[in-house]
Amino acid sequence: MEPLYSSPHGGHCPGWLSRHPLSLRKIRFIPAPERRIVLLIVAMLLMGYADLALTLTYMQSIGMIEMNPLARHMIAIGQTQQLVMFKLFTMALSAGAIFLVRRHPIAEKAAWACSAGLLALMVHWTIYNRDVSSNTNELTLLAESADQCELWVKLDS
């Protein structure tokens, strides 16, 4: 019978498993703060993608008010492609910056702050989606007078 190997984290495994190249004793366990940071980055990327998808959906239909002046400028430069590149770039930049400094104490606070901001944006989108059908008259008026409102943006399909 194979001898049992006691792992440093408790529990036992057969001796042959402890000698395997992918043995549990060779796996570096990720500290909890780093694990939380990585999960927060994944959440940030998912919420950023949802924001992009909803933005494109509304901007390619009737249009919408875009409060972000940088996003409005990107749309003026290159329409849909430029907006997508801008949003993906900012998502990658923020996620990458937080990931690179994930071992620094401030990284988790930054990840929580970014996640909270994006969560607030998701709440805003939820309210917008809930109320959009009751505001069709107002949206139509805004769309018809889009040349008078610099915040109104409509993407060419």
Residue ranges of domains in the chain: 1-29, 31-153
DSSP state, residue 85: H
- Candidate from 7-11, 45-49, 59-63 with smallest mean pLDDT: 7-11
**Phi/psi of residue 10, each to 5°?**
90, 160
State the pLDDT confidence band at 85, using cuts at 50, 70 and 90: very high
**Phi/psi of residue 12, each to 5°?**
-135, 155
- Taking residues 111-131, what's their average pLDDT? 94
**How high is the mean pLDDT of the chain?**
81
- Select the more confidently predicted residue: 20 or 32: 32
Q: Are 83 and 74 in contact (CB under 8 A)?
A: yes
Full-model pTM: 0.74
